[in-house]
């Protein structure tokens, strides 16, 4: 289809888009095309009021009484139950707390406690590094009892044997966007007697997930990506009811059966509460709840449908640039095999991302060594933004404005 034809289609989809009004509820600077909402989501306008209220009234005036009066103490459970609805979990199976990395540690050690006669934990190479790092730490701490292994992605399932306690896999790959089949993979892992831990960092708030139907054991995910919970937002952990008897290793007082009894000995709380550790991050939870509430209002089937349509549009619009400027699609070509971002490899990916940002107000993402990542966030992007972003990328390539030493120098956070 011609450029004009694609734009006509985009404008007509925008006009009929059931999610269109959500964009007005975010603070988005005029002219900016933000294709990085999968890394840090945009700011919902309602978050400003919520934070003001939490800080001025609940903290400033209510002080310590707000643990009860403003329901601070139960925010992890309340927001956890809301996230549960986004991922097909049951009430009492999800808790919002800590970072994804810490929750990965909790899930891995819980799984190991449920499989005391097994000593191996598996993941895949190329996984988001923190997942592997947390496994390596457990191996080291265990003094050799536990062995952590990273297997080449296509061979992970074959590597499971009778020593495997748990397999930690990411649902949607952070670079390529390749999505694993939750149902089939979970089944294969469980057939060998191992437990599955799903990292949903790049799928929560982007894909329509049903952990109950998939019979998942554990899952973790981020609050600051598609959920728009703000920088450093609390993450979440899902623990299937049947696994909630696991013995927590991070045995902090908020996971105690009676935190305010101040007993000498640790006694884990019933249910998912035992997966709490320390004092809830009240300010972060307040911001996260606004993002989660909006996502619930939008409904995941509509979000996924728009994400898929935006992805198809992006891929079509990028075709001429692939031929002319050497971009190579690094994500699956079929929508059902990918998440809500699309990656292209290009040898000058880093410099191109810098030039796009500085000269054309397009924020995309670079992932080492050569990937440009375009995050497609249905609540904050219009179809026309996708095409405008590609048009600006074409300008950068045509002018070669990326080709200078400033843009080639990498900063600490990419």
Ligand X SMILES: *Cc1c(COP(=O)(O)O)cnc(C)c1O
Catalytic (active-site) positions: 128, 199, 224-225, 373
Contact pattern from residue 79 through residue 118 relative to ligand X, giving x for each residue in contact according to CB under 6 A and a dash for the rest: --------------------xxx-----------------
Nearer to ligand X, 131 or 273 (CB): 131
Nearer to ligand X, 109 or 348 (CB): 109
Q: Nearest distance from residue 298's CB to ligand X, in Å?
A: 21
What contacts 150, CB < 8 A, 6 or more positions away? 122, 123, 124, 125, 127, 132, 135
Residue length, the chain? 414
User: Interaction with ligand X in 160-189: which residues (CB under 6 A)?
Assistant: 170, 174
In DSSP terms, which residues pair with 343 in a beta bridge?
Answer: 373
Closest CA to 296 of 205, 382, 201, 172: 205
Q: Which two tokens stand for residue 403?
A: 């080709």
Q: Nearest distance from residue 193's CB to ligand X, in Å?
A: 25
User: Interaction with ligand X in 227-256: which residues (CB under 6 A)?
Assistant: 235
How many residues of this chain bind ligand X (CB under 6 A)? 13
Q: Nearest distance from residue 274's CB to ligand X, in Å?
A: 20
Closest CA to 159 of 145, 144, 146, 149: 149
CA–CA distance from 341 to each of 126, 244, 381 (Å)?
17, 33, 13
Among 132, 186, 201, 380, binds ligand X (CB under 6 A): 201
Provide the CB-side half-sphere exposure for 149 (13 A, CA): 19
Binding range to ligand X, per CB under 6 A, among 198-206, 241-249, 278-286, 354-362: 198-206
Tokens 């400027």 appear where? 325
Among 34, 67, 128, 325, binds ligand X (CB under 6 A): 128
Q: Nearest distance from residue 393's CB to ligand X, in Å?
A: 24
Cα 258 from Cα 325, distance rounded (Å): 62
Count the neighbouring beta carbons within 10 Å of the beta carbon of residue 5. 10
Q: Which two tokens stand for residue 260?
A: 């305010």
Nearer to ligand X, 99 or 185 (CB): 99
Nearer to ligand X, 285 or 309 (CB): 285
Which residues here bind ligand X, judged by CB under 6 A?
99-101, 128, 130-131, 170, 174, 199, 201-202, 222, 235
């Amino acid at each position: 289809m011609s450029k004009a034809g694609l734009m006509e289609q985009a404008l007509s989809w925008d006009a009929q888009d059931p999610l269109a009004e959500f964009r007005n509820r975010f603070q988005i600077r005029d002219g900016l095309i933000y294709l990085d909402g999968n890394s840090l989501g945009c700011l919902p306008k309602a978050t400003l009021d919520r934070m003001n209220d939490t800080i001025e009234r609940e903290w400033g005036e209510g002080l310590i009484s707000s643990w009860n009066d403003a329901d601070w103490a139960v925010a992890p459970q309340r927001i956890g139950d809301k996230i549960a609805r986004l991922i097909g979990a049951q009430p009492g199976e999800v808790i919002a707390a800590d970072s994804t990395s810490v929750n990965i540690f909790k899930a891995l050690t819980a799984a190991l406690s449920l499989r005391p006669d097994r000593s191996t934990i598996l993941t895949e190479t190329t996984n988001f590094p923190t997942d592997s790092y947390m496994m390596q730490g457990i191996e080291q701490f265990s003094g050799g009892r536990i062995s952590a292994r990273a297997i080449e992605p296509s061979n992970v399932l074959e590597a499971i044997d009778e020593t495997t306690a748990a397999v930690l896999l990411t649902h949607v790959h952070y670079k390529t966007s390749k999505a694993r089949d939750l149902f089939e993979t979970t089944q294969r892992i469980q057939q060998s007697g191992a437990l599955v831990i799903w990292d949903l960092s790049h799928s929560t708030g982007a894909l329509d997930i049903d952990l109950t139907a998939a019979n998942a054991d554990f899952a973790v995910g981020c609050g600051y990506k598609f959920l728009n919970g703000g920088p450093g937002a609390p993450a979440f952990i899902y623990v299937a009811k049947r696994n909630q008897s696991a013995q927590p290793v991070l045995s902090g007082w908020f996971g105690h059966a009676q935190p305010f009894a101040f007993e000498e000995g640790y006694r884990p709380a019933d249910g998912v509460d035992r997966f709490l550790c320390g004092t809830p991050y009240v300010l972060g939870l307040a911001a996260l709840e606004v993002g989660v509430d909006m996502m619930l209002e939008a409904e995941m089937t509509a979000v996924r449908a728009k994400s898929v349509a935006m992805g198809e549009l992006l891929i079509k619009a990028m075709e001429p640039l692939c031929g002319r400027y050497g971009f190579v699609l690094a994500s699956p070509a079929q929508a059902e095999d990918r998440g809500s971002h699309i990656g292209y490899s290009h040898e000058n990916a880093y410099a191109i991302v810098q030039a796009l940002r500085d000269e054309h107000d397009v924020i995309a993402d670079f992932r080492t060594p050569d990937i440009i990542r375009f995050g497609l966030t249905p609540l904050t992007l219009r179809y026309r933004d996708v095409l405008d972003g590609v048009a600006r990328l074409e300008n950068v390539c045509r002018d070669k404005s990326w080709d200078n030493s400033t843009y080639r120098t990498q900063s600490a956070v990419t």
